[in-house]
Amino acid sequence: MLGDIDSGSPTRALTSPRHVRTVPRVRVLGIDPGTRVLGYGVVAQHGTHLRALSHGTISPGGAMALEQRLRLIHLGITQVIAAHAPEVVAIEGLFSHKNARSALVLGHARGVALLCAAQAGLSVFEYAPAEVKKAVGAGGRAEKDQVVAMVKRLLGIDRIDKADAADALALAVCHLNRRRFDARVRAAVEGGR
């Protein structure tokens, strides 16, 4: 049920070591929701180093009934949370969709992901697709292959089989970048008092 999982990838520093003390260790589960293919990625940050711990897809396919796909998505996300113990979840936020039915079905997958996070007691942070693409250096209107290439480069991963998994890793990186930025702003404000 769970797609290919790649773990133990080499790490790569994303910023200078001067911020090591301001950002403690954290694990983020990124989720790119979908009812046919849901991407997930777990990224750990220790100081300024980011490392992909796991990534893959949960792929119930389109042949089974929606409620059965949602059940399998719930089971898969629950297994990923149990295996990797993330502290927070980063998920793609709602965005305008040309097809109302597609948006509604996607909302079901998001709802299941939010439920899994709530059941595990995890905080959830939502990010717009353009913000996620910018966070990995791919630009706000980047195509999927550009996002895959940038995520592989940032996290030192040789192979990502599905763009959905790359999107999920990008969501986790986006959250960690935002977290690091917020910590610097807080430090600057507190230092200026």
- The whole model's pTM is what? 0.82
> Taking residues 26-36, what's their average pLDDT?
96
Residues labelled as active-site residues = 32, 92, 164
The tens digit of pLDDT for each residue in 116-151 reads: 999 999 999 999 988 898 888 866 666 778 889 999
Show the domains of the chain with their CATH numbers.
Answer: 12-191 (3.30.420.10)
**Residue 54, C-beta contacts closer than 8 angstroms, at least 6 positions apart:** 5, 6, 7, 40, 41, 42, 80, 83, 84
**First-to-last CA distance in the chain?**
53
Average pLDDT over residues 87-110: 84
Is residue 189 predicted with pLDDT exceeding 90? no
Residue 79 has pLDDT above 90, yes or no: yes
